[in-house]
Amino acid sequence: MATKLLFHFDEPAGVHPSDAAGNLDDLYAATGKSEPAPVSAWTGIGRQFVRDSGALGTVLLAADLAERDTLIQRDLTIQVLMTVTLSAGPDEHTVIVRGLRDGSLAERVAFGLQLKEQSGNPGYVEVQLMHEDSGGVLRFLPPGVFQHPGDGKEFLLTATRRWERTDKVVVRYYVNDEPIAELESTHGDIAGGTTGHTVLGARPFLGTWDKYFEGVLDEMLVLDVELSLEEVRHTWRRLTDYQPGGVETLIGLCPPGLDWGANPGNNEGRRLKVLGQGLGQAVASTEELRELWLPDRMPVELAPRWERICGLTPKPRDSLDTRRTRVVSFLAREEGLDLPAMRTAFEEVLDADADDLAILENTNEIRDEFTDATLHRRWFDNGLGSAAVAAGELVLTMANGGDYRYEVVGTRGSLRTSLDTGGEDFHVRGKIASYANLATSSFCGLVLENRVARHVLWFGVYNNAGTKQIGWRVAVDGVPGAWTSLAAAPALAPVWLRVSPPAAASSGSYSLAYSTTGEHAGFTATEVATGVVDVEWAGFGLYKTTAAAVNPDAATFDDFASFCPGGTVPFWWFVFRDPLLLGAPDLPGANALVAKVKPAHTAAAACESTSVLCGDPRYGLCGRAPV
Amino acid sequence: MAGLKLIASSRPVFNAGAATITYTLPFAPTAGDLLVIVLVRDFAEPAFATPSGWTLLTDNGSDEAKIALLAKLSDGSESAVEVTLTGATTERQGQLLIFRAGAPTTLVEAVGSSGFAATMAPDTPSLTTEGAALQSLQAINLALLTMSSDGAVTMSPPTGFTTLDAYSSSLASSRSILVAIRTVAATGGIYYGAADSNANATGRAWLHVLRDRLPIQPREIADVVPGNIGLIG
């Protein structure tokens, strides 16, 4: 950060104002104009500018001590302690202009600031930055508006400009410590003369002096960076809290009986004020360090240090907000997966408030007792029957008149969810709650599938020529096998089913257990070699082995659970942005940020859908969204 | 930062038989968000019941159509909102908007409307929607443009506006609507300019200037004895 201009205006009458930053020559009245007179102001002395009342107006003018010393064509902050006199008339009040705009390239306007009482709304003040483009066109950036505090009432005005592209400039305005506007402009072509002059109090464009300022300029600061909201607020607190607080502290510490602070206007009172303000400023510096050193509020000059510490490289035109976010999210990664910090980190790139973003995490254990009135969207209905929740149970139904033979892959009338086994063991259990309407040649029960290899394992109850049996059946590589009965099934359900790994590891072998007693007791287990490997889906199914259209079949199910101890989904997480939110999210950018901030042992993605998105070009034709 | 922020919007469902139009929240609002309903209907059938808890902000129009804006500060628990129309025999359309910031009592700063006639000249379809300028006090205000037309017309917004929704429906009668928004980005006179259409039609356009608050008034920085440390470079 560089201070380009700093005017204290504390010179007494007869002494020309000067730039404390040392970039400007002393300021003189422009030819034919008068110098604003020193007057009492909040900091001690300010300069009283008046409008041209015929022959004279007040204008201060100076040239750079060295070429380009005050040339600012990109980021900018102008901060002024000032009053403005609206009763002087409706014309604009020019506070500062860098460049005479006399038609020469050397005097192009790099920046300017003006105030104006709003036309049609007396008492409302517009504050507006301006500059000239390379074609010599004067560009006014969108204004901020505030209510006039009153003629002669001093306030702090801050205007910032952030250049992002040749067609994008962001301006912010603050009065005292309150932001009043943040707006974008397409006028990113900012010219600026190499030998431009700086003018205070009017503008001399194209040889005509006009738009005179009337009011008091107490102090003015011009920086070549965009100050943040936090920095503006801290300056305000320094001026209004800490420094007066230092004086009060000193008065409070005066020995009893001494009335040094009784009269702030006498010599003792003024000395006390000098000391107290110095004390307050020291406190303010300490508080500024405490408030602004951490990266969430860091000023721009601290950003490179934090980025060096974190090993981050900013892009050339990253805003301070973006750089803060990047560092904070990087540190959040170092500290673990801190969800609020993560949401905050994605605010800007996903163009949404942190509260509107969700961090989705997976579990390797799925339980569904079908207590919700609607099916959870984790379930995929193959649409060849109907699936619904009724009375806290899942109901699968075959419509009357349809052909409900099992398919080579899949099952007629099935509901399934994915299993993330990680190539390791898995456990699946479920309950057949009722199968009173299970007709001859119909099956109901658990279904496990590898749809790519066309492997299916059915485990449940089959009406075998009028006899209901508990048993299993497979299709391997698409070739159906024979039904294997394990036991006679009760005439009425329920039957509890479990599929677990066998006692000794064996690919394609499972322990199939059933109970007609209860969820936790009475199980009979049988280890079978099925040939069904790499199971990816599990659920409930209902099908027939005959082709004829039959009466409707229905079965109800409950208490599904799957557990994949070797699954990797717990290490997947997703930043989810609801697609119904308005705005312009940058998903590729968000995924780049994900890659940067995610803990190394996790896999993550940013997404706008909670469904599988295989084949979505936004994700490189891969499924990166939650399952 | 100062200003209204539009979070989400959604299209309502009109039930011609029951004479109701139901607005479903597109996104779960946070308590304190401002919910705004846009309801467009035929001028001849203006009556409707303001839902409990909602404030009617404006209701105006002319022969072509009539628009109502209703608002409510969210308590974070809203679900669907039903507006009941009386004697509805023509089409109802609208939009539900969720803003962050703003208040029903100060939301609408200005409203203007004008009728338009769309002509379908070859290659140059246009709607003449230019209305009188509205005064916008703040550049951060939002301009909400709503256009409504008889018939199944596809309309496009003027330059600078972002379309939130544009659709035609004919559950009771054929009507089209376009809802678009932009940041005003300037103070003073705001025009909504000419839009495009793909067919001959007549209709009405409204522009609402929406704000989050009145401009603030800074308090004076003053001291009985001048002489304070000011700005530091």
When pLDDT is cut at 50, 70 and 90, the band that residue A627 belongs to is very low
Higher pLDDT, A626 or B134: B134
E-assigned strand segments in A466-621 = 467-476, 479-480, 484-488, 495-500, 509-515, 524-529, 537-544, 554-563, 572-577, 603-607
Amino acid at A126: E
Find out whether B32 and B103 touch, Cβ atoms under 8 Å. Answer: no
Residue A145: its chain B contacts at CB < 8 A? Answer: 137-139, 187, 215
Residue contact A183–B183, C-beta within 8 A: yes
Put simply, the answer to whether B187 touches A118 (Cβ < 8 Å) is yes
Q: Whole-angstrom Cα distance, residue A225 to residue A287?
A: 22
Query: For a pLDDT cut of 70, what percent of chain A falls above it?
Result: 93
Domains of chain A: 3-227 (2.60.120.200), 232-292 (no CATH), 303-362+569-619 (no CATH), 366-563 (2.60.120.200)
In this complex, do B1 and A179 lie within 8 Å of one another by their Cβ atoms?
A: yes
Residue type, A573: W
pLDDT bracket for residue A611 (50, 70, 90): low
- pLDDT higher than threshold 60 for residue A298: yes
CB contact under 8 A, A175 and B218: yes
Is some CB atom of chain A closer than 8 A to the CB atom of B217? Answer: yes
Q: How many domains, in total, are found in chain B?
A: 1
With an 8 Å Cβ cutoff, are A142 and B139 in contact?
yes
Q: Does A243 sit within 8 Å of B217, measured CB to CB? A: no
The H or E element spanning position A127 is: strand A124-132
Q: Which ipTM value was assigned to this complex?
A: 0.89
Contacts of B219 in chain A (CB under 8 A): 149, 155, 176
Specify if B19 maps to a domain: yes
Do residue B2 and residue A155 have CB atoms under 8 angstroms apart?
Answer: no
CA distances from A472 to A397, A444, A497, B191, B202 (A): 21, 10, 11, 73, 69
Answer yes or no: is B136 within a domain: yes
Provide mean pLDDT across the span A436-460.
88
Task: Tell me phi and psi for residue B120, to 5 degrees.
Answer: -110, 60
Look at residue B219 and tell me if it is in a domain. Answer: no
Q: Which residue of A lies nearest to B138 if distances are taken between CA atoms?
A: A145
**How far apart, in whole angstroms, are the C-alpha atoms of residue A337 and residue A93?**
52
**Mean pLDDT highest for which of A445-449, A548-552, B152-156?**
A445-449
What gap in Å lies between CA A426 and CA A450, rounded to an integer?
A: 14
What's the rounded Cα separation, in Å, for the pair A472 and A444? 10
Q: Quick check: A363 and A561 in contact, CB under 8 A?
A: no
Q: DSSP letter for A72, please.
A: -
Calpha distance A99→A114 (Å, rounded):
14
List all residues of chain A from 269 to 288 with a beta carbon under 8 Å from chain B. 269-270, 273-274, 277-278, 281
pLDDT at A506 over 90: no
First to last CA, chain A: 48
* Lowest-pLDDT choice from A65-74, A499-508, B69-78, B223-232: A499-508
| 3-state class (DSSP) for residue A327 | helix
Which residues fall within 8 angstroms of residue A513, CB to CB, at 6 or more apart? A497, A498, A499, A500, A523, A524, A525, A526
Residue B225 lies inside a defined structural domain of this protein:
no
Percentage of residues in chain A having pLDDT higher than 90: 47
Report pLDDT for A194: 85
User: Residue B114 falls within a domain, yes or no?
Assistant: yes
Write the secondary structure of A457-485 as one string of H (helix), E (strand) and C (coil).
EEEEEEEECCEEEEEEEEEECCEECCCEE
Mean pLDDT in residue range A547-553:
61
pLDDT for the residue A156: 98
- Chain A hits for B228, CB-CB cut-off 8 Å, are 42-44, 239, 243, 277
User: Is A358 in the B-facing interface, judged by CB distances under 8 Å?
Assistant: no
Q: Identify the DSSP state of A242.
A: I
Whether pLDDT at B218 is above 80: yes
Question: Does B103 reach chain A within 8 Å, measured CB to CB?
Answer: no
Q: What is the pLDDT of residues A106-148, one digit of tens each?
A: 999 999 999 999 988 999 999 999 999 999 999 999 999 999 9
Range A209-236 average pLDDT = 95
pLDDT at residue A214 in the model: 96
Confidence at residue A178, expressed as pLDDT on a 0 to 100 scale? 94
Using DSSP bridges, classify how beta strands A414-418 and A380-381 pair: parallel, antiparallel or unpaired: antiparallel
How many angstroms separate the CA atoms of A481 and A11, rounded? 101
Q: What percent of chain B has pLDDT over 70?
A: 90
End-to-end CA distance of chain B: 25
Q: What domain range includes position B30?
A: 5-210
Distance from CA of B34 to the nearest CA of A (A): 15
- The pLDDT assigned to A336 comes to 60
Give the β-pairing of A603-607 and A572-577.
Answer: parallel
What is the number of H-type helices and E-type strands within chain A? 7, 35
Angle between helices A267-292 and A243-252 (to 10 degrees): 130
The confidence band for A547, taking pLDDT boundaries of 50, 70 and 90, is low
Residue A157 CB partners (closer than 8 Å, separation 6+): A79, A80, A82, A115, A127, A173, A174, A175
What is the distance between the alpha carbons of residues A340 and A350, in angstroms, rounded to a whole number? Answer: 15
- Across residues B50-69, what is the average pLDDT? 89
Sequence-ordered alpha helix ranges (H) in B73-210:
none
Top residue of A47, A180, A251, A355 to mutate, by most chain B CBs within 10 Å, is A180
Q: Is A355 on the interface with B (CB under 8 A)?
A: yes
The dihedrals phi and psi of A266, each to the nearest 5 degrees, come to: -85, 180
In this predicted structure, the answer to whether residue A401 has a pLDDT above a threshold of 70 is: no
| Length of chain A measured in residues | 627
Q: What is the mean pLDDT of residues A459-469?
A: 92
**Interchain contact, A581 vs B7, CB within 8 Å:** yes
pLDDT over 80 at A625, yes or no: no
CB A335 within 8 A of CB A364: no
Say how many residues make up chain B: 233
Q: Is residue A214 a contact partner of residue A200, using CB atoms and an 8 Å limit?
A: no
Q: Average of pLDDT values for A401-405? A: 66
Q: Would residue B232 count as lying in a domain?
A: no
Within a domain: B30:
yes
Closest C-alpha among B128, B146, B139 to residue B205: B146
Q: How many other C-beta atoms are found inside a 10 Å radius of the C-beta of residue A115? A: 22
**Token pair of B221 as six digits:** 């920085």
Compare B167 and B158 and report the one with higher pLDDT. B167
CB contact under 8 A, B139 and A580: no
pLDDT value of position A614: 44
Q: What is the mean pLDDT of residues A384-403?
A: 81
A396-419: average pLDDT: 71
Query: Would you place residue A613 in the very low, low, confident or very high pLDDT band (cuts 50, 70, 90)?
Result: very low
Q: Are A169 and A184 in contact (CB under 8 A)?
A: yes
CA-based nearest distance A224→chain B, Å: 11
Distance from CA of A186 to the nearest CA of B (A): 11
> Where does the pLDDT of residue A341 fall: very low under 50, low under 70, confident under 90, or very high at 90 and above?
confident
Q: Are residues A461 and A484 in contact, defined by beta-carbon separation less than 8 angstroms? A: no
Contacts of residue B138 in chain A, CB cutoff 8 Å?
A: 144-145, 181
Interface A-B, measured as beta-carbon pairs within 8 A, has a size of 162
User: At CA A327, angle to CA A326 and CA A329, rounded to 5?
Assistant: 65
pLDDT per residue as tens digits for the range A562-571: 998 888 778 8
Report the distance separating Cα A533 and Cα A508, nearest Å. Answer: 5
- Of B6, B220, B222, which has the smallest distance from its Cβ to A582's Cβ? B6
A47, pLDDT greater than 50: yes
Pick from B184, B187, B180: nearest CA to B205: B180
Distance CA A195, CA A197 (A): 7
Residues contacting A441, CB < 8 A, separation 6+: A463, A464, A465, A544, A545, A546
Give the mean model confidence (pLDDT) for residues A551-555.
73
DSSP strand E in A362-480: where?
Answer: 365-368, 380-381, 386-390, 393-397, 414-418, 427-434, 442-450, 455-464, 467-476, 479-480
Residue A374 to residue A483: CA distance in whole angstroms: 33
pLDDT (0 to 100) of residue A618:
44
- Residue in this structure with the two tokens 């019941």, named with its chain if needed: B49
- Which residues in chain A are closer than 8 Å to B225, comparing Cβ atoms? 264-265, 269-270, 273
Q: Which residues of A touch B10 (CB under 8 A)?
A: 580
Q: What is the mean pLDDT of residues A468-480?
A: 91
* Per-residue model confidence (pLDDT) at position B131: 56
User: Is the Cβ–Cβ distance between A470 and A485 less than 8 Å?
Assistant: yes
How do residues A237-287 score in pLDDT, each as one tens digit? 999 999 999 998 988 888 888 777 778 888 888 888 888 999 999 999 998
DSSP 8-state assignment for residue A547: -
**pLDDT tens per residue across span B203-213:** 888 889 999 98
Smallest CA–CA distance from B185 into chain A, residue: A142
A398: pLDDT strictly greater than 70: yes
Q: A205: buried, middle or exposed (CB in 10 Å: 19+, 13-18, 0-12)?
A: buried
| pLDDT tier at A408, thresholds 50, 70, 90 | low
Question: Closest chain A residue to B164 measured between Cα atoms?
Answer: A582
CA A289 to chain CA centroid, nearest Å: 25
What value does the CA radius of gyration of chain A take, rounded to a whole number of Å?
38
Supply the pLDDT for residue A491: 83
A63 or B86, greater pLDDT: A63
**A50, pLDDT greater than 90:** yes
Of A64-68, A572-576, A607-611, the one with minimum mean pLDDT is A607-611
A621 pLDDT higher than 50: no
- For A163, the token pair is 């250049």
Asked whether A124 and A222 are in contact (CB, 8 A), the reply is no
Determine, yes or no, domain membership for B47.
yes
Q: Of chain A residues 420-459, which have a CB less than 8 A from chain B?
A: none
Take residue A28 and report the two structure tokens written for it.
């003189």
Residues 327-346 on A with a CB inside 8 Å of B are none
- A52 near A209, Cβ under 8 Å? yes
The tokens 């409706």 sit on which residue? A90
Chain B positions in Cβ-Cβ contact with residue A355 (cut-off 8 Å): 30
HSE toward the beta carbon, residue A593, CA cutoff 13 A: 30
What confidence score (pLDDT) does residue A405 get?
66
Q: pLDDT averaged over chain A?
A: 87
Residues B93 and B40: their CA atoms lie apart, in Å, by 5
Q: Which residues of A touch B9 (CB under 8 A)?
A: 582
- In sequence order, the β-bridge partners of residue B21 are B14, B83
What is the per-residue pLDDT across A145-192, written as a single tens digit (0 to 9) for each? 999 999 999 999 999 999 988 999 999 999 999 999 999 999 999 998
Q: Rounded mean pLDDT of A15-22?
A: 94
Contact of B17 with chain A, judged by CB distance below 8 Å, is answered with no
pLDDT of res. A486: 94
- Reported pTM: 0.76
Whether B185 contacts chain A with CB within 8 A: yes
Give A170→chain B minimum CA distance, Å: 12
